[in-house]
Amino acid sequence: MKLICLDGATLYPVDDARWGRLSEFADVEIYDNTPAGMVVERARDAELLLTNKVPVGAAEIAALPSLRYIGVLATGYNIVDTEAARAAGITVCNIPAYSTASVAQHVFSLLLGITGRVERYAAEVSQGSWNRCKDFTYRNGEWHELAGKTMGIVGYGNIGSAVARIAEAMGMKVAVATSKPQSALPQGFVKLSVDDLFATADVVSLHCPLTPDTRGMADARRLAMMKPSAILINTARGPLVDEAALADALNEGRIAASGLDVLSTEPADAACPLPGARNCFITPHVAWASVEARQRLLDITVENIRAFLAGAPVNVVN
């Protein structure tokens, strides 16, 4: 049996010993990345195929008659044509909930970096600004407490609920836009419509899936509803945000700041207006990638394959 991983470098270097765990199931080949035109060539003899972001569409599936299993090394699985795989008798599995703690922590890394200005102050100390100050304290601009502010969360799944718990622990009020009823929310959490949440929250954090209904949900109309002091955080999917509208809102001072870990095109291309926009803080899609989350992802990948080969597959998405 042969197992091919198309883009292993997103998880570990291809020569990392941790990949050796897969060898109990098959002969393993790990590629750092695979251009779209080489998927069939590299996976031709594979029965088991792993991919993170390399698309496996209907054409590739039709050209891979030996394929029995596709494991997506992520929670989102839109890169695989699941219907074509089902029609071909191929099981597709994903990795749910492996990065919940990691992404929730990163939301607050972005938020605390914006509100506390730690990186800027540390840089100014390194440049001697504090040494030149006559007082024991050095201030250059204001920073703000989160306690008492309202955290607005769009989407109340694993990550959204984890963010809500952290916000509550920090003394924030929590408002949620969700399909769940108010009775399903913890005491003190308030259910709002998306529009009301954008209009009233001090921080809006996006945690919903990308669907036709949510694409571009943070658009010019909703950004215009936000307080001038408000902050938008997106660690979910880049296309949830109208990037041109957000850049305009930031550059014109209509909202205070934004913290983003995802963009519509990754890496950002020259057409993206957000790098360099006023008070826009972007990290390169790393919220999922803590040491612990990546280890958890590999652990679940191994167990997914084991369950499939035992005839009782888990985390099946098709």
Is residue 158 a part of any domain in this protein? yes
Are both 61 and 140 inside the same structural domain?
A: no
Q: What is the CATH number of the domain that holds 141?
A: 3.40.50.720
Q: What is the mean pLDDT of residues 169-187?
A: 97
Instruction: Judge whether 46 and 61 are in contact, CB under 8 Å.
Output: no
User: Residue type for 54, please?
Assistant: V
What pLDDT score was predicted for residue 250? Answer: 98
Are both 93 and 191 inside the same structural domain?
A: no
Domain containing residue 134: 100-282
User: Residue type for 94, please?
Assistant: N
In this predicted structure, the answer to whether residue 132 has a pLDDT above a threshold of 90 is yes
Residue written as token pair 């765990």? 21
What pLDDT score was predicted for residue 141? Answer: 85
d(C-alpha 241, C-alpha 220), whole Å:
9
Is residue 66 a part of any domain in this protein? yes
Q: What is the mean pLDDT of residues 269-273?
A: 93
d(C-alpha 5, C-alpha 32), whole Å:
8
Are both 179 and 239 inside the same structural domain?
A: yes
Are both 200 and 243 inside the same structural domain?
A: yes
Task: Label residue 157 exposed, middle or buried (CB < 10 Å: 0-12, 13-18, 19+).
Answer: middle
Instruction: Judge whether 79 and 60 are in contact, CB under 8 Å.
Output: no
Kindly report the pTM of this predicted structure.
0.92
Q: Strand 27-30 and strand 2-5: pairing? A: parallel
**What is the total count of domains within the chain?**
2
Count of beta carbons in the 10 Å neighbourhood of residue 182: 10
In this predicted structure, the answer to whether residue 163 has a pLDDT above a threshold of 90 is yes
Are both 269 and 121 inside the same structural domain?
A: yes
Instruction: Give 142's pLDDT tier (boundaries 50, 70, 90).
Output: confident
In this predicted structure, the answer to whether residue 146 has a pLDDT above a threshold of 90 is yes
Are both 258 and 220 inside the same structural domain?
A: yes
Q: Taking all residues of the chain, what is their mean pLDDT, rounded to a whole number?
A: 96
Is residue 317 a part of any domain in this protein? no
The predicted-structure confidence for 46-99, as pLDDT tens digits, reads as follows 999 999 999 999 999 999 999 999 999 999 899 999 999 999 999 999 999 999
The predicted-structure confidence for 225-260, as pLDDT tens digits, reads as follows 999 999 999 999 999 999 999 999 999 999 999 999
Is residue 316 a part of any domain in this protein? no
Are both 85 and 144 inside the same structural domain?
A: no
305 CB contacts (<8 Å, ≥6 apart)? 3, 22, 25, 48, 69, 71
Are both 231 and 104 inside the same structural domain?
A: yes
What pLDDT score was predicted for residue 181? Answer: 96
Are both 242 and 118 inside the same structural domain?
A: yes
Are both 183 and 83 inside the same structural domain?
A: no
Is residue 118 a part of any domain in this protein? yes
Instruction: Give 212's pLDDT tier (boundaries 50, 70, 90).
Output: very high
156 CB contacts (<8 Å, ≥6 apart)? 164, 176, 178, 180, 185, 207
Are both 221 and 135 inside the same structural domain?
A: yes
Is residue 314 a part of any domain in this protein? no
Is residue 159 a part of any domain in this protein? yes
| Long-range residue pairs from 65-72, CB within 8 A, at least 24 positions apart, any chain | 66/2, 67/43, 69/93, 69/305, 69/308, 71/95, 71/301, 71/304, 71/305, 72/317
Are both 65 and 173 inside the same structural domain?
A: no
Is residue 318 a part of any domain in this protein? no
Helix (H, G, I), strand (E, B) or coil at 125: helix
Residues tagged active-site: 237, 266, 285
Q: How far is CA 91 from the centre of its chain?
A: 25
